[in-house]
Structure 1
Amino acid sequence: MKTLYLGEKNLGSLGIISIIESSYQTSSIVLKNIEKFIEEGPDEHYDIGIVDGKVLHTSPSHHLKRLSQQISFPVLLLVEDDQPWQKFLEQLDNVHGVIERESEVGFFLNAINIVRDGGYCYSWDIHSLKNNGAAMLNDEYYAAAGLTRRETEILKMYLDGSTNKEISIRLSRSEKTISAHKSNILRKLGVKRFSDLFFQCR
């Protein structure tokens, strides 16, 4: 597992790196600060990026935009509760997880596995961030997954808690048609259930 760790070289970071190295025998980890990574650009492909929220919190906002443009692999953010991690989620692409920096080791490793494999993992209830569950997914995400306009509309209804029957009534389509749309959406998103999009791995 090739891992990029964006953070400062300090005891906390070295401890996290040590946990990863001892838990994944074939792992290789590159530690870089954000400025250096942005300046040099991605020099190789990584399976996962782990970003320390402390360095994001102190970085200029234009760094977040540049960072987002350079990262093409799933990212796990390590944050503290008082950091503006919702802002990080909105400004950074490819964030698949946000967990508390001081999480216990088993939880941390579980989050790495989920994010590395393309899943989503949060220490907090992500639904509480916005008025509806679909808010964390944006039009770019829908387009990248290849969803049609109708599938996007149906997905938003599912994430808001609507049932097949309720959606079929609202759209004047049969439940069988809605069920077929649901299967296509899940296949395109690469998940078995809509709840997997916002898995709270507490």
Structure 2
Amino acid sequence: MPKILVVDDHAVVRSGLMMLLNGKHNIEVVGEAADGEEGIQAAQLLKPDVVLMDLNMPPGMDGLTATEKLRQLMPDVAILILTMHDDDEYLFRAIHVGASGYILKSAPHDELLTAIRSVAAGNAYLYPTATKRLMNEYMDRIKHGDNVDTYGSLSEREKEALALIAKGFSNKEIAEQLIISVKTVESHKSNIMEKLGLRTRPELVKYAAKKGLLNFE
């Protein structure tokens, strides 16, 4: 049963989401917060599986800043951006700072439940038109000959994990070196493969070699 933390500056929205989700559909709402800073503190205390994060929460910390900080502090937690902003800039920035998903507040309840279950399972979720826009953006960059290299989208932990995976260390060995759980290593590996568009370990090793990450000193 996924444990959910709701972070939104509107008390009515938080109450509505809690009434919709709590104790239903095998979902448990464990807490709420009114801005990003409160959300980070609550997440560290309550250890949710998924944080539903609003973007704009004046006058407190905004959702993008909170998402970036929370991903650094708790890489295992999934952060689902739930917002009214159907905007490319917000969408791309949310992905860049490490959000696991992005969904509009206007989405049907069933879609929200699907998004929660998806990110709780370690997958990414974007609403359909957002996925199409991302694909169009990617294809446009290819068309114009841009060098599409998503290495910069990896977190520092993911970059460390990438180098160790490429060098042949096991998940357990990587976990010991980075002082994280094996589950987190597996999550990092999945995120790395997805972000870099890789399918197999040999492809990962080849990529790491090109990036100069196979120094065994």
State how far apart, in whole Å, the 2-side matches of 1:65 and 1:180 are: 28
The alpha-carbon deviation at position 110 of structure 1 amounts to 0.5
Amino acid of the structure 2 residue aligned with 1:12: V
Kindly indicate whether structure 1 or structure 2 has the higher relative contact order, using CA contacts under 8 Å at least 6 residues apart: 1
Contact 1:77 1:97 in 2 (8 A): yes
SS of corresponding position for 1:54 = coil
Q: 1:158-173 to 2 correspondence within 5 Å?
A: 159=197
CA offsets 1:154-182 (integer angstroms, 9 cap, x no match): x69x839xxxxxxxxxxxxxxxxx97736
Amino acid of the structure 2 residue aligned with 1:127: M
The answer to whether the aligner puts 1:70 opposite 2:88 as a matched pair is no
TM-score normalised to structure 1 length: 0.60
State how far apart, in whole Å, the 1-side matches of 2:91 and 2:67 are: 12
Structure 1 residue runs of 5 or longer lacking an equivalent are 161-177, 186-202
The alpha-carbon deviation at position 63 of structure 1 amounts to 5.1
Partner of 1:196: none
Amino acid of the structure 1 residue aligned with 2:73: Q
TM-score normalised to structure 2 length: 0.57
Contact 1:56 1:64 in 2 (8 A): no
CA offsets 1:93-127 (integer angstroms, 9 cap, x no match): 3x211111211111110111110000111011233
Partner of 2:47: 45
Q: Percent identity?
A: 14
The alpha-carbon deviation at position 64 of structure 1 amounts to 5.4
CA-based RMSD of the aligned residues comes to 3.8
The 1:86/1:26 distance shift into structure 2, 3 A limit, reads closer
Amino acid of the structure 2 residue aligned with 1:24: H
Amino acid of the structure 2 residue aligned with 1:148: A
State how far apart, in whole Å, the 1-side matches of 2:5 and 2:44 are: 10
State how far apart, in whole Å, the 2-side matches of 1:85 and 1:142 are: 23
Number of residue equivalences:
160
SS of corresponding position for 1:84 = helix
The 1:179/1:48 distance shift into structure 2, 3 A limit, reads closer
State how far apart, in whole Å, the 2-side matches of 1:6 and 1:69 are: 18
Partner of 1:148: 166
